[in-house]
Amino acid sequence: MSLYVKIKKNYGNFVLDAEFEAKNETMALLGASGCGKSLTLRCIAGIVRPDDGQIVSNGITLFDSRRRINLSPQKRRVGLLFQNYALFPNMTVEGNIMAVLAKSGRRDRRERFSSLVKKFYIGGLENHYPAQLSGGQQQRVAIARIMASDPSLLMLDEPLSALDSYLRWQLEDELAKTLGSFPGEALYVSHNRDEVLKLCDRVCVIDRGRFEKPRPAGELFESPETLASALLSGCKNYSRIEFADGGPRAADWNIRIKCAKPIGEDTSHIGVRAHYVSIMPGEAPEAAEENAIPCRVLRMTNDIFTVIVSVHPLGTDPENDFSRIRAELPKGSLGGLSEGDLVTAVIKPGDVMPLRRNYVNI
Amino acid sequence: MDLFPLYNSLKIASISTFITFFAGIFAACHIARLPKAVKGVLDCVLTLPMVLPPTVVGFFLLKTIGPFGPVGSSVMNLFGFRLTMTWYSAIFATAIVTFPLMYRTARGAFEAFDRTLLYSGQTLGLSGTYIFWRVMMPNCKQGVLAGTVLAFARALGEYGATTMVTGYIPGRTATISTTVYQLWREGNDSLAYKWVGVNLAISFLVLVAVNMLENRYEKPKGPVLSPLADK
């Protein structure tokens, strides 16, 4: 089973240029809001017609602009879970699922209904209306209803974003089970790196309508290669790179940067995760092996288990967002530091990630 | 008191509401999908009867279905009956005048309808007809019903266009509104008051019905389950 998508859709001020292939896996489409993730799903489902391109699922052409093929959503066998779940409010849970089962005309629809009820833990809710259900229950019903339509491709549009955080972990487990037992491909749209890391095999980062090359989820978060994927992977510190007298300089941090990985011509930025920045009080001596940046403390913010220290390198504009370095440190590791103090931010060369600005197509 | 005008008015209003119900919903459904420019023009044309004086609508009608109008004369030649000065002539007049009420309220209801329900129905393999009658209509019920009741009320009270195409023939084309006018002209105030009373009673009922439909809060059926009792 496989899915091939190569489509273009032009809205004038926004252009979607999607290309990817998935084979028996859960593929994440990860991107900031408005980047075209949901639009891609709608094109695959047949709700929105792409300007040109091709969509092939399991050898069946769903859309092909050149051969003038555009199957109706009903014929595509694509299950799409909407962000608001889109249960029919005028029907009970049973009505919602039976509406789909009845259409198949199969004799065993009562048995299929019972097995779906059991599989998705919705026993006891059969006669309730969607408005009576919690977000988690609605989601289970919606997934059961999609499974009733027997899809060959499953697409989930930010399935956890509408839920309270205490329900998330539980539903995450259930989704992992559903996705694991689903025989075909699944597309998982999200802007949340944690969900993607836990639930998906590969990740396709989307930056303003453009698709980057899909990469295994762990690898993407370990070493993002572009600015967009670093941002989405939760990296907090960035500086532009410029080349001056023989070496790369982190322009926004006002230092010559030492990086374990090669910084090439196409490197436009470097990124450093907040966890990997350490803060030393006072001015540190020039260290040969590490990047030591003399800074002034801007703000200290308390999180539950950590303290986030924002500093700005001396000789830079503190209003420039790139010139702020955020360090996330365990609580109690900083004695008596306060705003305005002079400190040194220390970054190991192995923690510096060279990043490209532009996406590279497949 | 001869109850023919009441019977005739109810009959005309029912038939014309039946027509505008389907015509209004059909137009509301299909115009929403058209390109913007076409939509704007059609929307104006279809709403026009609501703001035009009914006499202007009646004038156009007479010029079309009257004995010398293109439609009226053809029907007379082909089938041998006339379209004006009969009880059913009023149906043309009331249907045209009440159409915008149905069309606009139905369109408002359809525009407020959550499109993702439509899309999810499609991806689940449900047919367009099923989605329309079993998902869209039940969820737009209030708006559509309010439009229907308003159209019925307007049809019952229509005077201007009706009187121009049906005239006033007691026992044949008389409606409540034309009867009140006729009785006042004849100076028969006591009978006119009775018909005015009938009219007031019907209008009051209709407005109460519309208010009830518009204010009805869609309570979830049954108790809302606690999200903590999730499993």
pLDDT tens digits along A294-329: 888 888 888 888 888 998 888 888 777 788 899 998
Interaxial angle between packed helices A135-148 and A165-181, expressed in degrees from 0 to 180 and rounded to the nearest 10: 20
Selecting from A45, A88, A136 the residue whose C-beta is nearest the C-beta of B123 gives: A45
Query: A147-186, pLDDT tens digit by residue?
Result: 999 999 999 999 888 777 777 888 888 889 889 899 889 9
Tell me if B126 and A74 make a contact (CB, 8 A cut-off): yes
Residue type, A17: D
Q: What is the pLDDT of residue B112?
A: 87
State what percent of residues in chain A have pLDDT above 70.
Answer: 96
Local structure of A198: helix, strand or coil:
helix
Query: A99: which chain B residues are within 8 Å (Cβ-Cβ)?
Result: 124, 126, 130, 134
Determine the pLDDT at residue A217.
86
Cα separation, A254 vs A103, whole angstroms: 66
Q: What percent of chain A has pLDDT over 90?
A: 36
Whether residue B214 is predicted with pLDDT greater than 80 in this model: the reply is no
Say which amino acid occupies A201.
D
- The answer to whether the Cβ–Cβ distance between A132 and B224 falls below 8 Å is yes
Asked whether the beta carbons of residue B125 and residue A164 sit closer than 8 angstroms, the reply is no
B125 contacts in chain A (CB < 8 Å): 74, 77, 100, 103, 149
Measured between alpha carbons, how far is B15 from A115 in angstroms, rounded to an integer?
Answer: 49
Asked whether this complex has an ipTM greater than 0.85, the answer is: no
Tokens of A253: 């941090």
Say if the Cβ atoms of B222 and A128 lie within 8 Å. yes
The H-assigned helical ranges of A107-216 are 109-119, 135-148, 165-181, 193-199
3-state secondary structure chain B: CCCHHHHHHHHHHHHHHHHHHHHHHHHHHHHCCCCHHHHHHHHHHHHHHHHCCHHHHHHHHHHHHCCCCHHHHHHHHHHCCCCCCCCCHHHHHHHHHHHHHHHHHHHHHHHHCCHHHHHHHHHCCCCHHHHHHHHHHHHCHHHHHHHHHHHHHHHHHCCHHHHHHHCCCCCCCCCHHHHHHHHHHHCCHHHHHHHHHHHHHHHHHHHHHHHHHHHCCCCCCCCCCCCCCCC
CB atoms within 10 A of CB B208: 11
DSSP state of A131: G
In Å, how far is A29's CA from the nearest CA of chain B? 20
- Write down the pLDDT at residue A5: 94
Task: Give residue A219's pLDDT.
Answer: 85
Q: Confidence class of residue B19 from pLDDT cuts 50, 70 and 90? A: very high
- Lowest average pLDDT, out of A82-96, A182-196, A251-265, goes to A251-265
- Tell me how far apart the alpha carbons of residues A282 and B166 are, in angstroms, rounded to a whole number: 99
Q: Which residues of B touch A164 (CB under 8 A)?
A: 227
Q: Are A310 and A345 in contact (CB under 8 A)?
A: no
Mean pLDDT of B109-113: 88
Average pLDDT over residues A94-103: 92
Q: Which two tokens stand for residue A349?
A: 């060369």
> What digits encode the pLDDT tens for the residues B139-168?
998 888 889 998 999 999 899 999 999 999
The Cα of B112 is separated from the nearest Cα of chain A by a number of Å equal to 14
Q: Which residue has the higher pLDDT, A272 or B33?
A: A272
Q: For residues A198 and A349, what is the distance between their CA atoms, to the nearest angstrom?
A: 28
Range of lowest pLDDT (A23-37, A275-289, B36-50, B83-97): A275-289
Closest residue to B222, CB basis, from A47, A103, A132:
A132
- Residues 6+ positions from A82 with CB-CB distance below 8 Å: A142, A157, B116, B119, B120
- In this structure, the number of other CB atoms found within 10 A of the CB of residue A167 comes to 19
CA distances from A142 to A289, B217, B225 (A): 55, 25, 17
Strand ranges of the sheet holding A255-256, from the earlier edge strand across to the other edge: A255-256, A247-250, A237-244, A267-272, A353-356
Bridge partner list, A8: A17, A52
Q: What CA–CA distance (Å, rounded) separates A334 from A330? A: 8
| Residue B99: per-residue pLDDT | 95
For residue B226, the chain A residues in CB contact (below 8 A) are 134
> For chain A, how big is the Rg over CA atoms in Å?
25
How would residue A287 be classed by pLDDT, with cut points 50, 70 and 90?
A: low
At A57-72, the pLDDT tens digits run: 998 999 999 999 999 9
Structure tokens at B164: 């121009």
Residues 6+ apart with CB under 8 A from A51: A7, A8, A9, A10, A65
Chain A residues inside the 8 Å CB shell of B116: 82, 84, 86
CB contact under 8 A, A86 and B224: no
The CA distance from A233 to the nearest CA of chain B, in Å, is 30
CA distance B46 to chain A (A): 29
Identity of the amino acid at A123: G
Q: What is the mean pLDDT of chain A?
A: 87
B123 touches chain A (CB under 8 A): yes
Which residues of A fall within a CB distance of 8 Å from B120? 80, 82, 86
Domain positions in chain B are 4-216
pLDDT tens profile B169-192: 988 999 999 999 999 999 999 999
C-alpha A47/C-alpha A114 separation (Å) is: 30
Closest residue to B230, CB basis, from A72, A131, A134: A134
- Name the pairing type of β-strands A342-347 and A291-302: antiparallel
Torsion of CA A283, A285, A289, A290, to 10 degrees: 0
Classified by CATH at the fold level, domain B4-216 comes out as MetI-like fold (1.10.3720)
**pLDDT tens-place string over residues A320-348:** 778 889 999 888 777 678 888 888 888 88
Contacts of B140 in chain A (CB under 8 A): none
CA pair distance A56, A36, nearest whole angstrom: 19
Whether residue B123 and residue A99 make contact (CB cut-off 8 A), yes or no, is: no
**If we measure between CA atoms, which residue out of A262, A229, A255, A225 comes closest to residue A240?**
A255
Two tokens, residue B43: 């929307």
